[in-house]
């Protein structure tokens, strides 16, 4: 099996220091492209499909010129027929291929829900484990240029709800490559949801192929006073919020989930046991979303560790607006995280002063 040649790596070296003569620093898009390039080279069963993967811009740069290197039989454009083409990808995966289907936006996945939910996610279960569906579906949240209600939706809460799917949301260049390679090597259907703002980043990425285990999160910043749990671009916001809070003497721990399904419950509960206070931050809607699920997990399995209520930072329950000004008001970030943390710390201080238990 060619994938066994790729070494597994769990921890990202020097996350907080992306400079240095011995470090290889590349843009986020190049990290994804390099993963695809290495997967295509490693395994003849891998192919890349999707709207615009062979365009001059190469899907935000993530698939740039791969069609020239591997030919249009292995890297090819697809028509606007998401449900049908996803069905083709599912069939190819069942037949032993490893398709990577780029869908541009998560919104377009709604047009393929029958294939994703009724077929890709269930096939292995329905056939008693005799059939695998090694399919990767990639989409990018389109925040940043006023893409509005039908092109900027963060739908991770929707896909986290579906048994049989794995759900990946990288936050760094290092993870973008390692998790892409892990997803392609996985024998289950994996959805990778990127955030457009991640493509602003440059970071340390080893040249050789490596894999990050799906289902393992990481502590980006250790702390003692409060736990901030986030994924994707919200990890950057949470980390910067933690730096701001440190000026007030608040020592925040930042968890990067990396994958939402499976979820690293042990990492979350261990951190909560240490700090006793939690803020959960997500780029999606609050109701029925990621913040709700993680809060429920902590309330169910870690309630005894809590010293204050769980607070959630997420987008309001309205359709995504268009335009820079409205987007700034709609999307949550560092300010909302800092405000939530300060609220919990003040609650803690009042409780300590009065020697009472928070209700």
CATH number of 2-211: 3.40.50.970
At residue 4 the predicted structure's pLDDT band, cuts being 50, 70 and 90, is confident
352: pLDDT strictly greater than 80: no
Are 160 and 151 in contact, with CB atoms under 8 Å apart? no
**What does DSSP say about strands 259-261 and 166-168: parallel, antiparallel, or unpaired?**
antiparallel
Strand pairing report for 218-221 and 252-256: antiparallel
Q: Is residue 354 scored above 70 in pLDDT?
A: no
At 272-310, the pLDDT tens digits run 999 999 999 999 999 999 999 999 999 999 999 999 999
253 phi-psi bin (left φ>0, alpha ψ -120 to 50, beta other)? beta
Partnered with residue 250 across adjacent β-strands are: none
Long-range contacts of 117-125 (CB under 8 A, 24+ apart): 117/162, 119/87, 119/90, 120/86, 120/90, 120/93, 120/164, 120/165, 120/189, 121/162, 121/163, 121/164, 121/165, 121/189, 122/164, 123/90, 123/94, 124/164, 124/188, 125/163, 125/164
> Residue length, the chain?
359
Count of helices and strands (H, E) across the chain: 13, 16
pLDDT at 170 over 80: yes
Please report, for the chain, the start and end positions of each structural domain, with discontinuous segments joined by +: 2-211, 218-354
Strand-pair partners of 190: 136, 166
Mean pLDDT of the region 158-177: 97
Mean pLDDT taken over the chain: 92
Tokens representing 259 are: 């994958």
Q: Tell me the average pLDDT across 252-276.
A: 98
Does the structure show a pLDDT above 70 at 254?
yes
Rounded to whole angstroms, how far apart are CA atoms 276 and 258?
22
DSSP 194: E
Which residue stretches of 276-333 are H helix? 290-301, 324-330
Q: Which residues are catalytic?
A: 151
Q: Is residue 14 pLDDT above 60, yes or no?
A: no
User: Crossing angle for the helix pair 28-42 and 173-185, nearest 10 degrees?
Assistant: 30
User: Whose structure tokens read 């599912």?
Assistant: 90
* Angstrom distances, CA of residue 283 to CA of 19, 72, 107, 156, 338: 28, 35, 15, 9, 16
pLDDT higher than 50, residue 330: yes
pTM: 0.93
208 SS3 class: coil
Fold (CATH) for 218-354: Rossmann fold (3.40.50)
Q: What DSSP designation does 315 have?
A: E
CA-to-CA separations, 39 to 36, 110, 183, 267, in angstroms, rounded = 5, 27, 10, 30
Per-residue 3-state assignment (H helix, E strand, C coil) for 89-117 = HHHHHHCCCEEEEECCCHHHHHHHHHHHH
| 345 sits in which H/E element | helix 334-354
pLDDT digits (tens, 9 = 90+) for 82-129: 999 999 999 999 999 999 999 988 999 999 999 999 999 999 999 999
Arithmetic mean of pLDDT, 201-221: 96
């Amino acid at each position: 099996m060619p994938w066994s040649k790729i070494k597994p790596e769990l921890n990202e070296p020097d996350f907080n220091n992306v400079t240095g003569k011995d470090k290889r620093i590349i843009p986020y898009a190049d990290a994804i492209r390099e993963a695809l390039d290495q997967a295509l080279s490693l395994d003849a069963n891998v192919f890349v499909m999707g709207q615009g993967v062979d365009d001059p811009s190469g899907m935000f740069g993530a698939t740039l010129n791969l069609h020239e290197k591997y030919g249009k039989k292995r890297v090819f454009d697809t028509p606007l027929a998401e449900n049908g083409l996803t069905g083709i990808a599912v069939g190819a995966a069942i037949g032993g291929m490893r398709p990577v289907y780029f869908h541009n936006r998560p919104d377009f996945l709604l047009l393929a829900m029958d294939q994703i939910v009724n077929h890709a996610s269930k096939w292995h279960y329905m056939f008693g484990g005799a059939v695998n569906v090694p399919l990767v579906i990639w989409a990018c949240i389109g925040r940043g240029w006023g893409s509005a209600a039908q092109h900027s939706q963060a739908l991770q809460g929707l896909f986290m709800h579906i048994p049989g799917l794995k759900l990946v949301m990288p936050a760094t260049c290092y993870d973008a490559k390692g998790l892409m390679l892990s997803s392609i090597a996985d024998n289950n259907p994996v959805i990778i949801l990127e955030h457009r703002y991640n493509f602003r980043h440059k970071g340390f990425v080893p040249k050789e192929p490596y894999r990050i285990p799906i289902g393992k999160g990481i502590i980006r910043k250790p702390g003692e006073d409060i736990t901030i749990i986030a994924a994707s671009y919200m990890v950057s916001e949470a980390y910067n919020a933690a730096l701001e809070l440190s000026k007030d003497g608040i020592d925040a721990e930042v968890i990067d989930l990396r994958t939402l399904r499976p979820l690293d419950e042990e990492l979350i509960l261990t951190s909560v046991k240490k700090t006793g206070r939690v803020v959960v931050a997500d780029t999606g809607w609050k109701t029925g979303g990621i913040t709700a699920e993680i809060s429920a997990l902590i309330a169910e399995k870690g309630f005894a560790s809590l010293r204050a209520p769980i607070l959630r930072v997420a987008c309001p329950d309205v359709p995504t607006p268009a335009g820079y000004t409205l987007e700034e008001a709609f999307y949550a970030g560092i300010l909302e995280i800092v405000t939530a943390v300060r609220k919990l710390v003040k609650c803690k201080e009042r409780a300590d002063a009065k020697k009472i238990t928070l209700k």
